[in-house]
Structure 1
Amino acid sequence: MKSRKLINILSMACRAGKILSGEFVIEKALAGRHNIKLILLAEDTAQATQAKYEKLAEKHKILLRKTPLTKEELANSIGKTDRAAAAVCDDGFGKAVLKILDN
């Protein structure tokens, strides 16, 4: 149930142009002071990749949450293939995602 709600909100955010994905894109956006509110990680993200995103999130003071979605589910929800992480660039969508994940 939680996964379905999360997939739905991520799909809406993506259609609204408020999702970034892919390691290079997220890193570049963070370096350029893009408006990233939340970084989401797939549950099956490799430990090294997870550690890298944790450092980035800490450095830029951005929330990071691990999701119950696999890389494939995360990628499919935003119309991509094989994504370990996605960044939410909107306060409203970020709060909606956190509400789902934290309940």
Structure 2
Amino acid sequence: MNNKVKLINIISIACRAGKVISGEFVIEKTLSGKNNVKLLLLASDVATATKEKYEKLSQNSKTLLRYTELTKDEMANSIGKTDRAAIAICDEGFKKAILKILDN
């Protein structure tokens, strides 16, 4: 199984466990609040302005930001939504599992 499929699978599991948030407004609000976000994932095909916005948000909230090889459609499909440029992982265990996949 390649890393892309593994990543989609772990994101799907995290979503079913209720440990994923998505949507620009919700992510912004969560990052600016009590910050229970452990990892911010960006799709590979996000616009430059979107990339810069999430980079700034992650720096301000001291949240780890990682780029994935998933497209916006693949990322959205993995959580049962449509058109998601970014998703936030809210669990340390899922964060470690995802980083292990991304770092291989």
Bin for the TM-score computed over the shorter chain: over 0.9
The alignment partner of 2:84 has SS state of coil
The one-letter code of the counterpart of 2:63 is I
Unmatched runs of 5 consecutive residues or more in structure 2: none
Equivalent in the alignment of 2:7: 6
How do 1:47-86 residues align onto structure 2 when only pairs under 5 Å count? 47-86=48-87
| 1:25-66 C-alpha deviation (Å, 9 max, x unpaired) | 000111221310000000000000000000000111110000
Paired residue type of 1:80:
K
Corresponding residue for residue 99 of structure 1: 100
Q: Which amino acid aligns with 2:53?
A: K
Unaligned runs of 5+ in 1: none
Structure 2 residue identity aligned to 1:17 = G
The normalised TM-score by structure 1 is: 0.98
Q: Which amino acid counterpart does residue 13 of structure 1 have in structure 2? A: A
Deviation at residue 94 of structure 1 after TM alignment: 0.5
Tell me the percent identity: 68
Hey, what's the Cα distance between the residues in 1 that align with 2:98 and 2:27?
A: 18
The answer to whether the 8 A contact 2:43-2:72 is kept is yes
Q: How many residues align?
A: 103
- Determine the structure 1 residue equivalent to 2:17: 16
* TM-score, scaled relative to structure 2: 0.97
Alpha-carbon contact 2:35-2:61 (below 8 Å) kept: no
Alpha-carbon displacement from aligned partner over 1:63-101 (angstroms, at most 9, x marks no partner): 000000000000000110000000000000001000000
In structure 1, what residue type is equivalent to 2:71?
T
Q: Considering only aligned residues, what root-mean-square deviation do their CA atoms show, in Å?
A: 0.6
